């Protein structure tokens, strides 16, 4: 793999996704290079999959950017979702450059940077503003999405214009009334667009994505029929969804209680910036909930993805300080089930229902709409922008492939469409475009805010411990004679229940004792060799007799 810049030559533009083209819902990060200049679009994280034991979140491998830190002119953010901004604290520690984004995006980022004690220049921009960073001039173009203040990017380079759509859908009736800037996208199409990178999340879905306002109708229907408390769980960053819940609560003369640190923080930020409008005396503190009649209370909270420590999870398991589920409560999970979270969400739904709640969720009720464009919208975007070359982004391979098919059906030649992998280098020049090389890319597993990244081998060990447990062999040798004076003692956790499996433990003890008696003098004299011998013998025994592969940890004491 190359780590040298592939775009260092004059009049060559390189596009390098470091995340977001092999996964959906995370790691979005793209590098653009021209000459000696580099800009970065987004720097997102991904939440762990079930087999990533003990991992808090995942970020893209940043080594390529760090190696070229002196060439980075700035970071551009399309919107404030964590799958586009969550890796910023780690990136900025190594590459302290200015960050450009719309006001709400930067306000959310600022809170995250404070948590990690990272400081940098945060430069606020508005739609249709432009900034120049080295060889690049970037125009911010308003789009509609599931979060306020989303933008696409029009990137002007000496070689031609590039459109990066960010996350978008064509919502004709957005909650805040701010329509997508169709005119500017069409202008780029008329001027000529060299390359477009476009959101592929819903490339498999036909038709158009429903407007965010459709959720209000579902809320109104539920509110009209419900006589008890209403609990709505959604993403803390979905200000439009929070606004609609508040609007319907006001319509039905109810009071609102906001729970969850991130949701309270985001709502306060949005309120201060004017993106969230709450009538006076509507938002009450949670300690007043106990005095509120059930038919007047609406609770907004986090935990729509089944996060173990979220407010909704603690409510579902009866561990929340202020909120206990009772008969008559209605819980609305107003968010899409992110792939991989189905089981944890299902567990929360089960717990809520067992406690008497009526639960409305995506598969059983229309209480969520996507923030991403479906097939017809994706084709409209292509027809507005009319790019010469096309790269689908923000999706797994099947979604990228479907988006590529839409591009071909829209008239873009097959050899002008590139499905990239993380680390792929798409190089454009006056003679055309080609995928020529690869830079180092991958994933970094983060375990704790200040902890170092978790290596793959650590995850493998955690999976083994979780699946087959651990067996500890403790042996004490007399230092001079090398005679066994302690043990062998066998301790197991997660392998077999010792009190009920004394026969197995006795067999293992006898095997280890016999192994020590059989080894040569040079092995018994070397602690490392003896540990390796015991481990290998027990591993073979357990494999052959029980088809089990626990972690084996021999401990040799010299006394």
Digit-coded pLDDT (tens) for 353-369: 999 999 998 765 568 88
* Mean pLDDT, rounded, for 238-259: 95
Burial class (CB in 10 A: 0-12, 13-18, 19+), 509: middle
Looking at residue 462, its pLDDT comes to 58
380 and 439 in a single domain? The answer is yes
Per-residue pLDDT tens digits for 122-142? 999 999 999 999 999 999 999
Within-domain flag for 167: yes
Q: Identify whether residues 300 and 167 lie together within a single domain.
A: no
pLDDT of residue 498: 53
The domain tally of the chain equals 3
| Domain end position, chosen among 360, 388, 417 | 360
Predicted structure pTM score: 0.81
Residues 104 and 91 in one domain: yes
Question: Which tops the pLDDT comparison, 137 or 491?
Answer: 137
6 within a domain of the structure (yes/no): no
Confidence of residue 501 (pLDDT cuts 50, 70, 90): low
Q: Which pLDDT does position 49 carry in this prediction? A: 64
Give yes or no: residues 498 and 519 share one domain.
Answer: yes
Average of per-residue pLDDT values in the chain: 88
The yes-or-no verdict on residue 453 having pLDDT over 60 is no
- Rounded to whole angstroms, the Cα distance separating 310 from 259 reads 10
Residue 471 lies inside a defined structural domain of this protein: yes
Output the pLDDT for position 539: 84
Contacts of 165 by beta carbon, 8 Å cutoff, 6+ apart: 143, 152, 196, 197, 198, 199, 381
Claim to verify: residue 44 and residue 192 sit in the same structural domain = yes
Give residue-wise pLDDT tens across range 288-327.
999 999 999 999 999 988 887 789 999 999 999 899 999 9
Same domain flag for 176 and 112: yes
Are 327 and 355 part of one and the same domain? yes
* E strand or H helix at 247: helix 239-251
pLDDT tens digits, one per residue of 382-398? 999 999 999 999 999 99
**Same domain, residue pair 191 and 248:** no
CA distance 422 to 18: 5
Q: Is residue 163 part of a domain?
A: yes
CATH code assigned at 467: 3.10.20.580
First to last CA, the chain: 51
For 402-438, write each residue's pLDDT tens digit.
999 999 999 999 999 999 999 999 999 999 999 988 9
Residue 4 has pLDDT above 50, yes or no: no
- Residue 9, domain member (yes or no): no
Residues 288 and 423 both lie in one domain:
no
pLDDT, tens digit (0-9, with 9 covering 90-100), for 509-554: 888 878 877 777 777 777 788 788 888 888 888 888 877 778 888 8
Cβ contacts of residue 69 below 8 Å, gap of 6+? Answer: 94, 95
Tell me how long the chain is: 559
The candidate with the shortest Cα–Cα distance to 454, out of 444, 464, 441, 463, is 444
pLDDT at residue 431, rounded to an integer: 93
| The last residue of a domain, from among 360, 389, 423 | 360
Please indicate, yes or no, whether residues 126 and 241 belong to a single structural domain of this protein: no
Same domain, 96 and 171: yes
User: Looking at residue 246, what is its pLDDT?
Assistant: 97
Write down which residue in 400, 423, 454 finishes a domain.
454
Distance CA 516, CA 440 (A): 47
Contact 31, 40 (CB under 8 A): yes
Residue 8 falls within a domain, yes or no?
A: no
CA angle 446, 447, 448 (to 5 degrees): 110
Is it the case that residue 449 has pLDDT exceeding 60?
A: no
Q: Is the pLDDT of residue 456 over 60?
A: no
More confidently predicted of 280 and 469: 280
The answer as to whether 344 is a domain residue is yes
**458 pLDDT more than 60:** no
Q: Are residues 143 and 277 in the same domain?
A: no
Tokens of 47: 């939440």
Distance CA 105, CA 41 (A): 13
155 or 238, which is more confident?
A: 155
pLDDT at 490: 81
Helical H segments across 328-448, by residue range:
342-354, 375-385, 397-409
38 inside domain: yes
Asked whether residue 53 carries a pLDDT value surpassing 90, the answer given is no
Laid out side by side, the sheet with 255-258 consists of 283-284, 255-258, 297-301, 230-233, 330-333, 358-360
Q: What is the residue-wise DSSP string for 92-131?
A: HHHS---EEE-HHHHHHHHHHHHHTT----EEE--TT-EE
Q: Please report the pLDDT score of residue 451 as a whole number.
A: 47
Q: Can you give the residue range of the structural domain that contains 229?
A: 213-360
The confidence score (pLDDT) of residue 450 equals: 53
Phi and psi angles of residue 171, each rounded to the nearest 5 degrees, phi first: -95, 110
Which residues are identified as catalytic? 199, 372
The CATH number linked to 64 is: 3.60.15.10
For the cut 50, the answer to whether the pLDDT of residue 3 exceeds it is: no
């Amino acid at each position: 793999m190359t780590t040298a810049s592939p775009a260092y030559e004059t009049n060559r533009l390189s596009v390098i996704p470091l995340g977001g083209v092999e996964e959906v819902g995370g790691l979005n990060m793209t590098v653009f290079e021209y000459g000696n200049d580099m800009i970065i679009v987004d720097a997102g994280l991904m939440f762990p999959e079930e087999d990533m034991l003990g991992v808090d979140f995942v970020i893209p491998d940043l080594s390529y950017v760090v190696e070229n830190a002196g060439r980075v002119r700035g970071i551009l953010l399309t919107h404030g979702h964590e799958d586009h901004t969550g890796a910023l604290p780690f990136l900025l520690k190594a590459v302290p450059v200015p960050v450009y984004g719309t006001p709400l995006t930067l306000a959310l980022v600022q809170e995250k940077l404070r948590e990690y004690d990272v400081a940098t220049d945060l430069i606020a921009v508005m739609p249709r503003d432009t900034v120049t960073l080295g060889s690049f001039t970037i125009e911010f173009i308003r789009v509609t999405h599931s979060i306020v203040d989303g933008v696409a990017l029009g990137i002007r380079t000496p070689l031609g214009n590039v459109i990066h759509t960010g996350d978008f859908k064509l919502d004709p009736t957005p909650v805040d009334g701010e329509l997508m800037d169709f005119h500017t996208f069409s202008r780029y199409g008329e001027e000529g667009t060299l390359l477009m990178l476009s959101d592929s999340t819903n490339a498999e879905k036909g038709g158009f994505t429903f407007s965010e306002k459709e959720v209000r109708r579902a809320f109104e229907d539920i509110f009209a029929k419900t006589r008890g408390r209403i609990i709505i769980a959604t993403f803390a960053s979905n200000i439009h969804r929070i606004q609609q819940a508040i609007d319907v609560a006001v319509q039905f003369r109810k009071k609102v209680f906001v729970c969850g640190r991130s949701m309270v923080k985001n709502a306060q930020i949005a309120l201060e910036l004017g993106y969230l409008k709450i009538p006076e005396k509507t938002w009450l503190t949670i300690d007043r909930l106990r005095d509120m009649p059930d038919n007047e209370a609406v609770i907004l909270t986090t935990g729509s993805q089944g996060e173990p420590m979220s407010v909704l999870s603690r409510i579902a398991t009866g561990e929340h300080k202020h909120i206990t589920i009772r008969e008559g409560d209605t819980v609305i999970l107003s968010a899409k089930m992110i792939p991989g979270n189905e089981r944890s969400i299902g567990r929360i739904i089960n717990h809520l229902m067992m406690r008497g709640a009526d639960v409305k969720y995506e598969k059983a009720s229309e209480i969520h709409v996507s923030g991403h464009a479906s097939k017809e919208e994706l084709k409209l975007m292509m027809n507005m922008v009319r790019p010469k070359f096309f790269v689908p982004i923000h999706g797994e391979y099947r979604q990228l492939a479907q988006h590529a098919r839409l591009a071909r059906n829209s008239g873009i030649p097959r050899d002008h469409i590139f499905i990239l992998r993380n680390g792929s280098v798409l190089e454009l020049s006056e003679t055309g475009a080609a995928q020529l090389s690869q830079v180092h890319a991958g994933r970094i597993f983060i375990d704790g805010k200040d902890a170092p990244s978790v290596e793959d081998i650590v995850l493998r060990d955690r999976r083994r411990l979780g699946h087959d447990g651990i067996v500890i062999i403790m042996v004490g040798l007399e230092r001079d004679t090398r005679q066994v004076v302690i043990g062998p003692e066998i301790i197991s956790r997660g392998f077999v229940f010792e009190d009920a499996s004394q026969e197995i433990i006795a067999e293992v003890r006898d095997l280890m004792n016999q192994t020590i008696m059989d080894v040569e003098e040079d092995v018994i004299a070397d602690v490392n060799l003896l540990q390796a011998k015991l481990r290998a013998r027990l591993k073979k025994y357990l494999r052959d007799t029980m088809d089990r592969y626990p972690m084996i940890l021999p401990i040799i004491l010299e006394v």
